[in-house]
Amino acid sequence: MSGHPPQPVADALSAPYWEGTSRGELVLARCGRCGFLSHPPDVVCPRCHDPHVRYRFERMGGSGSVRSWVIIRQSFLPGFEVPFLLVDVAIDEDPDVRLIGRYTDWPDATPVLDERVLVTFDLLDDGFAVPAFAREVRP
């Protein structure tokens, strides 16, 4: 497809996340009251239900495990070169937090369940970057 992929739209809650990705850092929200790691952050903490939640944004290590994956063969949005493979990753800091991103090693490699991956970032227009994941290289 031609054109550019849709760009993220940062709002007051998500701006620190997108600022982090543009620096090549995975920065996630933690509830200031109960410590729950929330992604994406919501106006109310999903755990303690604080309606006046104040998040602390913390840099994560960026490693995790593949939980599932899908090959996208047809895109209904402009700007995506198909096919591509998306992985669902449980991050090490909290396996209940899941991120989805492009698997950068495909088509040369196919992910396997519980495979170790590291976050990388795909740069988009306007300074935005989105998470992608590469196989973790172990010595």
Tens-digit pLDDT profile for residues 1-47: 446 777 888 899 999 999 999 999 999 999 999 999 999 999 999 99
Determine the 3-state secondary structure of 103 from DSSP: strand
The helix (run of H) or strand (run of E) holding residue 10 is: none
pLDDT value of position 119: 98
Q: How many CB atoms lie within 10 A of CB 17?
A: 22
Spatial contact of 29 and 37, defined as CB atoms under 8 Å apart: yes
CATH number of this structure's domain 61-139, picked from the four choices 2.40.50, 1.20.120, 3.30.160, 1.20.58: 2.40.50
Residue ranges of the chain that CATH labels 2.40.50: 61-139
The pTM assigned to this predicted structure is 0.90
Omega before residue 111 within 30° of 0, cis: no
- Per-residue pLDDT band for 139 (boundaries 50, 70, 90) equals low
pLDDT category at 131 given cuts 50, 70, 90 is very high
